Amino acid sequence: MKKKKPQVFFITGAASGIGAATARLLASQGHAVMLADINAKGVRDVAASLGPNADAVALDITSPAGWEAALDLTYSRFGTLDVLINNAAIVVTGNARDVPVAHHQRTININFMGPLTGSLATLERFRAQGHGHVVTVCSMTSFMPFPGIASYGASKQALRAFHHALAFEERNTGVDFTIVHPTATETPMLEQEEGDDACGFAFLADPVSPEFVAETVVTAIRRKSIEVFMPPEQAKVIRLLGTDALRMRKLYAQMEEIGRSAQHERRQSHKS
């Protein structure tokens, strides 16, 4: 198979988890990567470990000015940009009634408005150069409401709707769009959910590694897939169940008990 020409990637949330794993994989394949994160030290440490074709920038993804500065740096450093990977996100755990409204708002700002802001800023440059690829790392919670992380799921459902609408609008511009929906992944976010009793539902399925998600993302980019679900063998059931509120209510107690049992086992294993 003909080896693909090296490309330039911009990855948000790259100081840890899926973002860092994706940057490592791309760098190992010979691509250039600009790593972005609000955690300036963390993202620079990851970039420094990847060699001369990696660089880092501190970025608040909700800031339009921050995006313009980060993109200017990327084009100055690498001469172009081929692929944007919107990956950064946060989670605030707890029953919705117990979470301050300001925290719900922050989740929406970062998980939805952040990728929206970055996609539009990057799209302008992609349109000008006649090519580019916008990649959204979303979530299977964009199909199934998850108690304990209600705002997170809401932000991801909004993100999926926006991503596809934008892709439809730009279908004749030479810009490609891919969205990937990871299942539960072993990241600091999952560790946070492990510690909150309200989040038992999040442990219904066995989590995957950030490296597994990174491989899925990179494969989807290479194939220019439109939408990818994880894990594929369960995705159809999750998508159908998530849109059937009546059935979910009937099954909820059983599903929650399974998730809480798995959550408890995780806690015990981490104590031993």
The residues annotated with a catalytic role in the active site are 152
Query: Cα(181)–Cα(185) distance, rounded to whole angstroms?
Result: 11
Query: Cα(187)–Cα(137) distance, rounded to whole angstroms?
Result: 14
DSSP at 203: G
CA dihedral 55, 122, 108, 150 (to 10 degrees): -80
Query: Cα(238)–Cα(232) distance, rounded to whole angstroms?
Result: 10
Type of residue numbered 109 = N
The CB-side HSE value for 71 (13 A sphere, CA atoms) comes to 22
Place of tokens 């997170």: 152
